[in-house]
Amino acid sequence: LTTNIEMLNSHLACFRTDGILNLIGGESRPAASGATFDTSSPVDESVICPVAKGGAEDIDAAAAAAKAAFPAWRDMPALDRKKILNRIADLIVERAEEIALCECWDTGQALRFMSKAALRGAENFRFFADKATSARDGQQLQSPTLMNVTTRVPIGPVGVITPWNTPFMLSTWKIAPALAAGCTVVHKPAEFSPLTARILAEIAHEAGLPAGVWNLVNGFGEDAGKALTEHPDIKAIAFVGESKTGSMIMKQGADTLKRVHFELGGKNPVVVFDDADLDRALDAAIFMIYSLNGERCTSSSRLLVQESIAEEFEAKLIERVNNINVGHPLDPATEVGPLIHKVHFDKVTSYFETAKQDGATVAVGGTRAGDQGWFVRPTLFTNATNDMTIAQEEIFGPVLTAIRFKDEDEALTLANDTQYGLTGYVWTNDLTRALRFTNALEAGMIWVNSENVRHLPTPFGGVKSSGIGRDGGDWSFDFYMEQKHIGFAT
């Protein structure tokens, strides 16, 4: 821990001197208004550094830079774009340790899970670097009188708006495909965790990305974010965040007919049948809600467990949850660090009271941990029913709600009885049941007898209030590009 803190401090030195500036047209700049806000660590509430508080004027300058840079970036040979994206990946790997330490300090995520976040970001860049050369590929569709060809062209400058929970990885996930497609970008990262978005933009600049191709504007959602979604030169908005923010963005973007791609919230079920490998199911259920502080869109926050095994399963769960290590995020032994911010801490802890009022049992946790920083004890609610608030709302913390079911029909009804539909996890050794159940489960992504394991060519996204559109593989290009049809008379 001491060594990690020393290393962190050396990496933070330049932020402490300069603060976090915007990057517009290749230039580091304060906000046009001169305004700043402080970013602080959830570990001890100490201020890390001031951050440029961008607004409409900064977004306008960034959109102008992205528009000016677009034609040359669009027309650059794909092999050259590929080289730059691979170079970005190399530089991310070189700075992986710095990125992980800064991200943990800024967000409260535990280093044991975050140490790989930068490398995953680098993989995202390599994956889309390889795809850059096929981005424009089309088809030939012959008719009796025409030779029809299709091609894809990048949509133009795009806005990318990201949340605070795993800011580095998510930024790479959205920006790498946009660049590979030939779009230019204005990125508005979350105000609660701006450190690694700045490192990432610096890396891109250093990797030789032409000025204006990637612009960074920090600031709050209601001013910088809103201005981005309303800007006429921004052709599409790739957004990751809460469902209600997605709905606001859709309204804000209506006048300029903005294309939108939303990755939103979830209340994802992990369904455990009595014929499953219960030890594996237990490990996965714990991992999917108590890693990353439960601040993870794909977390399995609702445990649906079959009555016949519920008592034994819950007893083992209680024992394991009681032993989860809460502590300093830079301590390699820590499994759960502090929640991002007081605002979020207040939201998560409010559900401890709600659970009791609803009539659930607080089997583990349900309290603050320590008296400094935004730490909570990993929490398990049992004796819950699916109509309770704790079973319906996204809590977005290390909080699991356990609900019992009798049979497959009831499990399916409960699993689908939510406004969300991001992921589902099903544990059973009955293959026919798994096929039947996953076919009827309302979710964009489902894993059977597995925790969430990302494979970049597969589609990522949710149904219902969990999102619109898909990322991953070629799906990312569907969003960032326009299909064009040309018919030649034969």
Residue ranges in contact with ligand NAD by CB under 6 A: 161-165, 170, 188, 190-191, 220-222, 225-226, 229, 240-242, 245, 248-249, 252, 263-266, 297, 394, 396, 422, 462, 467
Give the nearer residue to ligand NAD in terms of CB position, either 378 or 462.
462
Least distance (Å) from ligand NAD to the CB of residue 251? 9
Give the nearer residue to ligand NAD in terms of CB position, either 281 or 456.
456
d(CA 122, CA 95): 10
Q: H or E element: which one contains 281?
A: helix 278-290
Least distance (Å) from ligand NAD to the CB of residue 310? 27
- Where do we find the tokens 């802890």? 349
- Where do we find the tokens 């709905």? 247
**CB under 8 Å, gap of 24 or more: what pairs does 229-232 form?**
229/159, 229/161, 229/253, 229/258, 230/255, 230/256, 231/59, 231/60, 231/63, 231/159, 231/256, 232/256
- Where do we find the tokens 């070189």? 94
Least distance (Å) from ligand NAD to the CB of residue 262? 8
d(CA 471, CA 457): 9
d(CA 288, CA 91): 30
- DSSP assignment string, 111-126: HHHHTTHHHHHHHHHH
Least distance (Å) from ligand NAD to the CB of residue 476? 13
Give the nearer residue to ligand NAD in terms of CB position, either 165 or 306.
165
Least distance (Å) from ligand NAD to the CB of residue 231? 11
CB count within 10 Å of CB 451 equals: 18
Active site members? 263
Give the nearer residue to ligand NAD in terms of CB position, either 394 or 451.
394
Least distance (Å) from ligand NAD to the CB of residue 289? 13
Give the nearer residue to ligand NAD in terms of CB position, either 86 or 452.
452
The encoded tokens of residue 293 equal 């502080």
Specify which residues 425 forms β-bridges with: 270, 447
SS3 45: coil
Residue nearest to ligand NAD (CB): 221
d(CA 490, CA 475): 32
Least distance (Å) from ligand NAD to the CB of residue 212? 21
- Angle (CA) 487 79 160, round 5°: 80
Give the nearer residue to ligand NAD in terms of CB position, either 123 or 394.
394
Alpha helices, DSSP H, located in 136-191 = 167-181
d(CA 262, CA 50): 29
Least distance (Å) from ligand NAD to the CB of residue 88? 21
Identify the DSSP state of 367: S
Residues 6+ apart with CB under 8 A from 160: 171, 174, 175, 178, 185, 186, 187, 188, 237, 238, 239
For the chain, helix, strand, coil in percent to 5 are 45, 20, 35
d(CA 192, CA 195): 9
Give the nearer residue to ligand NAD in terms of CB position, either 242 or 410.
242
Least distance (Å) from ligand NAD to the CB of residue 179? 19
The encoded tokens of residue 183 equal 């779009």
Specify which residues 39 forms β-bridges with: 49
The encoded tokens of residue 490 equal 């034969």
Give the nearer residue to ligand NAD in terms of CB position, either 226 or 235.
226
Identity of the amino acid at 360? A
Give the nearer residue to ligand NAD in terms of CB position, either 195 or 207.
195
